[in-house]
């Protein structure tokens, strides 16, 4: 089948004009669908073009108010053209509040007027009819009776309804666990330093101070930001690094710290769990995630840091084994995605 993959962000349309290099769900899904034999076009749509050549479309939606979603209006127009052939998907933990963002910037008149001015460069290229179509279709994400389903990357563990949050998308949610189709490092058997890897875009300093780890923390990203988003020069201590460097951390350090997020306990899928565990690095997860992931993830930080090397090796292996038991097999994941493209929904045995 011929599949269009498009969306609101640069990564969802296959752009290489991105600031950071890291594993993304659009890449993972596109690779899997091609492996299954589907013809995949990942690109920006042109308002007004006919899309009859596509049997199915996977369309990424996100916060339309975000600077990282420059193609939201194009997506609105494309959804009008695609109709029932479209399946939506999300790739960010903040997607739990997309419905609220859409309501505030599309449905609410005051919010729409502000959004229209904010995105003038995008909307000014549309005809008045296309502008109306974009607002109408995107508003459906927050209104009852949304005609599209939304694919969400979730583990089987966790309370999935918690992901929806207080401001849900109105569309029915479907989920897959992409762990088994995610590129990951091999298991490292070399010597490891007693230190933690910590990679984040947000400032974790308060959380780390409360956590008070005894081991060194090797931090990437997360420097303090100015109100507009740029890093304060005197705090540029932890640059964001390529994902390949994080893999080196996971191979050479004993553990990885995962800061808490609003979706903890919901089963939201995270590539960092996949990469660290595949390498044999111990994962210290947020409490709500840890309780769902299994007993090997619930150890106190101090107990981990005081353990012997043999005990640490054993813990890392138990975490890997427990995760393997609780994640989808490759065949199951590929089968679910194949059925999704052929029928428009995930159907599992």
**Separation of first and last alpha carbons in the chain:** 23
Are residues 340 and 87 in contact, defined by beta-carbon separation less than 8 angstroms?
yes
Dihedral through CA 151, CA 156, CA 158, CA 164, nearest 10? 10
**Following DSSP, what letter does each residue of 194-209 receive, concatenated?**
EEEEEE-SS--HHHHH
CA distances to 239, 254, 298 from 251, in Å = 20, 8, 22
Where do the domains of the chain lie, and which CATH numbers do they carry?
A: 2-177+329-343 (3.40.50), 193-326 (3.40.50.2000)
Q: What is the pLDDT of residue 124?
A: 93
Closest by CA to 163, choosing from 237, 77, 261, is 261
DSSP conformational letter for 230: P
Q: What is the pLDDT of residue 88?
A: 95
Are residues 37 and 116 in contact, defined by beta-carbon separation less than 8 angstroms?
no
CA 294/CA 322 separation, integer angstroms: 7
* Tens-binned pLDDT, residue by residue, of the chain (349 aa): 999 999 999 999 988 776 667 889 999 999 999 999 999 999 999 999 999 999 999 999 998 988 889 999 999 999 999 999 999 999 987 787 888 899 999 999 999 999 999 999 999 999 999 999 999 999 999 888 889 999 999 999 988 877 765 456 777 889 999 999 999 999 999 899 999 999 987 788 889 999 999 999 998 876 766 555 555 554 567 777 788 889 999 999 999 999 998 888 989 999 999 999 999 999 999 999 999 999 999 999 999 999 999 999 999 999 999 999 999 999 999 999 999 999 998 876 5
φ/ψ region of 306 (left if φ > 0, alpha if ψ in -120 to 50, else beta) reads: alpha
**Following DSSP, what letter does each residue of 127-195 receive, concatenated?**
-HHHHHHHHHHHHGGGSTT-SS-EEEEB-SSS-HHHHH-SS--SSPEEEE--GGGS--PPPP-S--EEE
User: Going by DSSP bridges, is the β-strand pair 150-153/56-60 parallel, antiparallel, or unpaired?
Assistant: unpaired
pTM greater than the 0.85 cutoff: yes
Structure tokens at 74: 């194009």
């Amino acid at each position: 089948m011929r599949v269009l993959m498009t969306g609101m962000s640069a990564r969802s349309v296959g752009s290489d004009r991105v600031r950071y290099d890291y594993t993304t769900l659009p890449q993972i899904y596109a690779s899997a669908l091609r492996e299954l034999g589907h013809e995949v076009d990942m690109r920006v749509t042109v308002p007004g073009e006919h899309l009859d050549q596509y049997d199915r479309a996977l369309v990424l939606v996100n916060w339309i108010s975000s600077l990282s979603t420059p193609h939201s209006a194009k997506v609105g127009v494309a959804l009008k053209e695609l109709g029932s052939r479209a399946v939506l998907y999300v790739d960010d933990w903040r997607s739990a509040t997309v419905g609220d963002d859409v309501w505030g910037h599309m449905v609410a008149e005051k919010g729409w007027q502000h959004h229209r001015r904010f995105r003038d460069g995008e909307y000014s290229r549309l005809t008045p009819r296309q502008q109306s179509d974009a607002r109408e279709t995107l508003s459906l994400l927050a209104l009852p009776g949304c005609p599209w389903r939304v694919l969400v990357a979730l583990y089987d563990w966790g309370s999935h309804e918690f992901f929806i949050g207080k401001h849900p998308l109105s569309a029915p949610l479907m989920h897959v666990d992409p762990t088994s189709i995610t590129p990951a490092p091999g298991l490292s058997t070399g010597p490891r330093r007693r230190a933690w890897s910590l990679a984040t875009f947000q400032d974790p300093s308060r959380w780390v101070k409360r956590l008070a780890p005894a081991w060194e923390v090797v931090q990437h990203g997360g420097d303090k930001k100015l109100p507009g988003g740029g890093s304060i020069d005197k705090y540029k201590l932890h640059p964001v690094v390529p994902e390949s460097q994080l893999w080196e951390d996971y191979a050479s350090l004993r553990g990885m710290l995962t800061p808490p997020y609003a979706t903890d306990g919901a089963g939201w899928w995270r590539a960092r769990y996949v990469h660290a565990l595949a390498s044999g690095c111990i994962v210290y997860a947020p409490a709500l995630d840890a309780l769902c992931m299994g007993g090997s993830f619930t150890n106190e930080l101090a107990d981990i840091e005081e353990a012997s090397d043999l005990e640490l090796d054993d813990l890392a292996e138990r975490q890997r084994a427990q995760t393997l038991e609780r994640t989808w097999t490759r065949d199951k994941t590929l089968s679910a995605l194949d059925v999704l493209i052929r029928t428009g929904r995930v159907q599992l045995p």
